[in-house]
Amino acid sequence: MSPTASQPIAYLTRIEKFSACHRLHSPLLNDKENLEVYGKCNNMNGHGHNYTVEITLRGPVTRETGMVMNINDLKNYMDAAIHKPMDHKNLDRDVPYFENIVSTTENVAIFIWNNLKREMPDPSILYEVKIFETDKNVVLYRGE
């Protein structure tokens, strides 16, 4: 059903956390360049983060249910898109997507976006993926 005056548009956000380790290393750069670009984050031993992910949907508030999406369903989609592939994993070694794609927070956001698009029955309502890699480093991705 398309939105009408009786179906206002709302933004629904769910926040989840996951932990993972990684090393910033680009296959498109040589070792010297990798060290120059990524500095301490290029260390062979890697390092870990407690990521916070905010997923926002934008869609009509369905009259019958009063919801953009049932949060219980959103939880399941986020579990499949975020926790199952990445929680307590080494992103570079355990997640095939990052085999040749550097595991920056930008690319983690794109990975989550693509996973959610596959999981959700109506992917058009996915509005934004926001990730806090640390308290100070935040990435927003809107599929552009």
Ligand X SMILES: Nc1nc2c(c(=O)[nH]1)N=C([C@H](O)[C@H](O)COP(=O)(O)OP(=O)(O)OP(=O)(O)O)CN2
Range 103-134 burial, b when 16+ CB lie within 10 A, else e: bbbebbbbbbbbbbeebbeeeebbbbbbbbbe
Q: Please report whether residue 115 would count as binding ligand X according to CB under 6 A.
A: no
Q: How many residues bind ligand X (CB under 6 A)?
A: 10
Please, what is the Cα angle at 83 between 12 and 141, to 5 degrees?
A: 50
From the CB of 53, what's the least distance to ligand X, in Å? 14
- Pick out residues in 33-92 that bind ligand X (CB under 6 A): 41, 49
**Shortest reach from residue 96's CB to ligand X, in Å:** 19
Distance between CA 96 and CA 16 in Å, rounded?
22
99 is catalytic: no
Strand partners of residue 138: 132
- List 16, 21, 41, 106, catalytic entry: 41
Q: Which spans of this chain sit near ligand X (rule: CB under 6 A)?
A: 24, 41, 49, 104-106, 133-134, 136-137
Active site residues: 41, 88, 133
